[in-house]
């Protein structure tokens, strides 16, 4: 029972993280294209890269933790 709940939490977490990265990129793409100067566009691009990297690190850490919890909670067959 607990393993099936963890399975749903794992997939929901992955969907949430994918949505967060997509929204971050789509929101900042407009800011880069409409920047007043090259420095503003460069700063937005650097900030976007750092934010995306932090989200990817959080995503991988969450997947490792939730995946290990699922494997521990899973019922053994046999």
Burial letters 24-38, b for 16+ CB under 10 A, else e: eeeebeeeeeeeeee
Show the CA angle centred on residue 13, arms to residues 7 and 15, nearest 5°: 105
The pLDDT score that the predictor gives to residue 76 is 66
The pLDDT score that the predictor gives to residue 30 is 80
The pLDDT score that the predictor gives to residue 58 is 97
The pLDDT score that the predictor gives to residue 2 is 83
Give the 3-state secondary structure of residue 65.
helix
The pLDDT score that the predictor gives to residue 78 is 55
Q: Where are the domains of the chain?
A: 1-12+38-78
pLDDT truncated to tens, each residue of the chain (78 aa)? 788 899 999 999 999 999 999 998 888 888 888 878 888 888 888 999 999 999 999 999 999 999 999 888 887 665
Q: Is residue 13 within 8 Å of residue 66, measured between CB atoms?
A: yes
């Amino acid at each position: 029972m607990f393993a099936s709940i963890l399975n749903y939490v794992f997939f929901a977490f992955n969907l949430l993280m994918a949505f967060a990265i997509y929204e971050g990129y789509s929101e900042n793409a407009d800011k880069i294209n409409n920047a007043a100067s090259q420095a503003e566009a460069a700063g937005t691009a650097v900030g976007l890269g750092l934010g995306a990297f932090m989200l990817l690190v959080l995503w991988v850490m969450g997947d490792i933790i939730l995946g290990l919890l699922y494997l521990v909670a899973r019922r053994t067959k046999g």
